[in-house]
Structure 1
Amino acid sequence: MSKLMYDFGLVGLGVMGHNFILNVADNDFTVCGLDLDEEKVRSLIEAGGDSQKVTATTEVGTFVTSLSSPRKIMLLVPAGDLVDKAIESLLPHLDQGDIIIDGGNSFFTNTDRREAYLKEKGINFFGAGVSGGAEGARKGPSIMPGGNKEAYEYIRPIFEAASAKFKGEPCVTYLGPKSAGNYVKMVHNGIEYGLMQLTSEIYDVLKKTCDLSNDELSATFDQWNKGRLQSFLIEITAEIFMKDDNIAEGRLVDNILDKARQKGTGKWTSQNAMDLGIPVPSIDIAVSMREISALKDIRLKADEIYSRPEPVVRDKSELLKQAEEALYFSFIVTYAQGLHQLAEASESYGYELNLSEVAKIWRAGCIIRAALLDDISTTFSEAPGLKNILMATSFVTKVQAALPSVRALVSHGVKSGIPLPGLSNSLTYFDAFTSGRLPLNLIQAQRDHFGSHTYERIDQEGIFHTDW
Structure 2
Amino acid sequence: MTQTAPSSQTKANIGVVGMAVMGSNLARNLAHHDYTVAVFNRTYARTQKLIAEHGNEGSFIPSEKIEDFVNSIATPRSIILMVKAGAPTDATIDELLPLLSPGDIIMDGGNSYFGDTIRREKAIAAKGFHFVGAGISGGETGALEGPSIMPGGSPESYKILGPMLETISAHYHGDPCCAWMGPNGAGHFVKMIHNGIEYSDMQVIGEAYELLRGVGLTNAECADVFAEWNKGDLDSYLIEITSIVLRQKDPRTGADLIDVIKDRAQMKGTGTWTVQTALELGVPTNGIAEAVFARAESSHDDLRAAARKYLAGPDGTVSVDDRTAFIEDVRKALWCSKVVSYAQGFDEIRTGGQEYDWNINVAEAAKIWRAGCIIRAKLLERIRQAYTDDPDLVSLMAASSVSAEMEANQSAWRRVVSKAAESGVPAPVFSATLAYYDMARAPRVNAALTQAMRDYFGSHTYERVDDHGHFHIEWTGDHSETRID
TM-score range with shorter-chain normalisation?
over 0.9
**How far did 1:2 drift?**
4.2
Task: Pick the aligned partner of 2:26 from 7, 17, 20.
Answer: 20
Q: Tell me, what secondary structure is at the counterpart of 2:16?
A: strand
Give the whole-Å Cα distance in 1 for the aligned partners of 2:466 and 2:57: 77
Q: Where does 1:12-411 land on structure 2 (aligned, <5 Å)?
A: 12-50=18-56, 53-208=59-214, 210-310=215-315, 311-314=317-320, 315-411=322-418
Q: After alignment, is 300-309 or 140-149 more displaced?
A: 300-309
Question: For each residue in 1:23-60, what CA deviation from the matched residue of structure 2 results, as whole angstroms up to 9, or x when unmatched?
Answer: 01101111011102222111221234346611322210
Decide whether the 8 Å contact of 1:282 with 1:334 is kept in 2. Answer: yes
**How far did 1:385 drift?**
1.1
Give the whole-Å Cα distance in 2 for the aligned partners of 1:422 and 1:341: 18
Give the whole-Å Cα distance in 1 for the aligned partners of 2:361 and 2:318: 46
Decide whether the 8 Å contact of 2:285 with 2:344 is kept in 1. Answer: yes
TM-score by length of 1: 0.98
When residues 131 and 119 of structure 1 are mapped into structure 2, their CA distance, relative to the original with a 3 A threshold, is same
Instruction: Report the residue type matching 1:328 in the other structure.
Output: W
Give the whole-Å Cα distance in 2 for the aligned partners of 1:211 and 1:70: 62
Percent of aligned pairs sharing the same letter: 42
What residue in structure 1 maps to residue 463 of structure 2?
Answer: 456
When residues 31 and 441 of structure 1 are mapped into structure 2, their CA distance, relative to the original with a 3 A threshold, is same
Instruction: Report the residue type matching 2:69 in the other structure.
Output: F
Decide whether the 8 Å contact of 1:270 with 1:283 is kept in 2. Answer: yes
**How far did 1:84 drift?**
0.5
Q: Tell me, what secondary structure is at the counterpart of 2:472?
A: coil
Question: For each residue in 1:153-197, what CA deviation from the matched residue of structure 2 results, as whole angstroms up to 9, or x when unmatched?
Answer: 111121011000101111000111110000000000000000011
Stretches of structure 1 lacking an aligned partner (at least 5 in a row) = none
Give the whole-Å Cα distance in 1 for the aligned partners of 2:318 and 2:246: 23
Decide whether the 8 Å contact of 1:45 with 1:55 is kept in 2. Answer: no
Aligned residues: 467
Q: Tell me, what secondary structure is at the counterpart of 1:49?
A: helix
Which ranges of 4 or more aligned residues in structure 1 deviate by more than 6 Å? none
Task: Pick the aligned partner of 2:429 from 415, 418, 422.
Answer: 422
Give the whole-Å Cα distance in 1 for the aligned partners of 2:29 and 2:444: 54
Q: Tell me, what secondary structure is at the counterpart of 2:263?
A: coil
Instruction: Report the residue type matching 1:59 in the other structure.
Output: K
Decide whether the 8 Å contact of 1:233 with 1:368 is kept in 2. Answer: yes
Instruction: Report the residue type matching 2:269 in the other structure.
Output: G
Instruction: Report the residue type matching 2:127 in the other structure.
Output: K
Give the whole-Å Cα distance in 1 for the aligned partners of 2:414 and 2:380: 24
When residues 48 and 277 of structure 1 are mapped into structure 2, their CA distance, relative to the original with a 3 A threshold, is same
**How far did 1:462 drift?**
1.4
Give the whole-Å Cα distance in 1 for the aligned partners of 2:306 and 2:58: 61
Instruction: Report the residue type matching 2:451 in the other structure.
Output: Q
When residues 28 and 52 of structure 1 are mapped into structure 2, their CA distance, relative to the original with a 3 A threshold, is closer
Question: For each residue in 1:49-90, what CA deviation from the matched residue of structure 2 results, as whole angstroms up to 9, or x when unmatched?
Answer: 346611322210000000001100000011000001110111
TM-score by length of 2: 0.95
When residues 51 and 220 of structure 1 are mapped into structure 2, their CA distance, relative to the original with a 3 A threshold, is closer
Q: Tell me, what secondary structure is at the counterpart of 2:179?
A: coil
**How far did 1:392 drift?**
1.4
Give the whole-Å Cα distance in 2 for the aligned partners of 1:121 and 1:47: 38
Decide whether the 8 Å contact of 2:220 with 2:246 is kept in 1. Answer: yes
Decide whether the 8 Å contact of 2:32 with 2:57 is kept in 1. Answer: no
Q: Is residue 2:446 matched to residue 1:439?
A: yes
Q: Let me know the Cα RMSD of the aligned residues.
A: 1.1
Q: After alignment, is 251-260 or 43-52 more displaced?
A: 43-52
Decide whether the 8 Å contact of 2:121 with 2:132 is kept in 1. Answer: yes
Q: Is residue 2:473 matched to residue 1:466?
A: yes
Decide whether the 8 Å contact of 1:128 with 1:146 is kept in 2. Answer: yes
Stretches of structure 2 lacking an aligned partner (at least 5 in a row) = 1-5, 476-485
Instruction: Report the residue type matching 2:202 in the other structure.
Output: M
Give the whole-Å Cα distance in 2 for the aligned partners of 1:461 and 1:238: 56
Give the whole-Å Cα distance in 2 for the aligned partners of 1:39 and 1:146: 32
Give the whole-Å Cα distance in 1 for the aligned partners of 2:13 and 2:229: 43
